Amino acid sequence: MSESSVESQTWSTVRSYLLGKELGFSQSEPGDTLTLQLDDEDWQLEVTPGGLLVCQAGYALEDMQSLLSDGTPEDLGSDELAKQTKFYLNQIVSKHRNWLKHDGFVERTEMNDEYVAIFYERTMDLKNLSELEHAVRRCRKQFTPSP
């Protein structure tokens, strides 16, 4: 059996397992990433076929332009808009950053003409389903606002 075939079978098992646990994951296509909207702000959690657990938050620059201009005709330059977006995003990220890093996630920021996003990625063993489920539940709990 080829390595690609084994990976495909592993992902199929992971996909079925996580979707069967009623954790709230969705998926566009069978081979795609599983995505879960988290309760806190603009955060989402993903499990990728490559074995990454990804917590991420981001803003579309077009949405931020609307928010920041607040009905005024003034347009921010793309560099200033990205800078302001990153500022707002860092405020959202700051309350979870220490926990994520302590839990083994590695931070990276991605900016382009469409969005600014901060990703926290952690490699998971897709063959250890109980550990993967435990990590997903810990993330869900961390991102559930306190009453």
pLDDT tens profile 104-142: 999 999 988 888 899 999 999 999 999 999 999 999 999
Q: Cα dist. 99→89, 102, 117, 141 in Å?
A: 17, 5, 18, 12
Q: Are 25 and 36 in contact (CB under 8 A)?
A: yes
Q: Which domains does the chain have, with CATH numbers?
A: 3-142 (3.30.1460)
pLDDT tens profile 72-97: 546 667 777 878 888 889 988 998 99
What does pTM read for this prediction?
Answer: 0.86
